[in-house]
Amino acid sequence: MNKVEIFELAKQLGEEILKTPETKRILDAKAAYESNEKAVELVESYNKIQNEYQEKITVGELSKEEYEKATNELIEKGQQLRENAVTSELINAENAFNEYMSKIYKIISTTISGEEMTEEDLNCSGSCESCGGCH
């Protein structure tokens, strides 16, 4: 099989991934987010605080008081993101989609390396939050 044929297979895989519930969910969540002014404002506000915080950390201009203030603001804004139905669904849809894509990548990379995948490997998200224990 040559490169062009492999690229065609990759394109076909992408087209099939577009048909999955995970992709539909994330596309629907993004559309709902983009059409919801309040949700966009929440995310932009959170990102602004986070970026300002990161810049100050990078240049070493963050006092202990500023650190505590920024941390509290980020916690508060993060809570608002989780409480907003639109942003919460977007976050959850992104997490589910990323987990799905990670599994696909894991299958491909494991196959290339010649390793055997078990059913347990396929069910492992890589995140200990959703797990009952490592294999």
- CATH number of residue 68's parent domain: 1.20.1500.10
Question: What are the CA-CA distances from residue 71 to residues 80, 116, 129 (Å)?
Answer: 14, 44, 23
Question: What is the distance in angstroms between the CA of the first residue and the CA of the last residue of the chain?
Answer: 35
Domain membership of residue 104 (yes or no) is: yes
Asked whether residue 53 is domain-assigned, the answer is: yes
Query: Residue 36: exposed, middle, or buried by beta-carbon count in 10 A (0-12, 13-18, 19+)?
Result: middle
pLDDT at 19 (0 to 100): 98
Residue 13 lies in a domain: yes
- Of 81, 4, 77, 79, the residue nearest 36 (C-alpha): 81
* Per-residue DSSP letter, 129: G
93 found inside a domain: yes
Residue 119 has pLDDT above 80, yes or no: no
In a domain, 126, yes or no: no
The answer to whether position 26 is within a domain reads yes
- Rounded to whole angstroms, the Cα distance separating 80 from 116 reads 43
98: enclosing H helix or E strand: helix 85-113
Q: Residue 19's domain spans which residues?
A: 3-116
CB 49 within 8 A of CB 70: yes
Mean pLDDT of 48-74: 87
pTM of the predicted protein model: 0.76
Q: 14: pLDDT confidence band, cut at 50, 70 and 90?
A: very high
Check whether 130 has a pLDDT greater than 80. Answer: no
Tell me: pLDDT of 123 over 80: no
Task: List pLDDT tens digits, range 74-108.
Answer: 999 999 999 999 999 999 999 999 999 999 999 99
> Quick check: is 129 in a domain?
no
**How would residue 112 be classed by pLDDT, with cut points 50, 70 and 90?**
very high
What domain count does the chain have?
A: 1
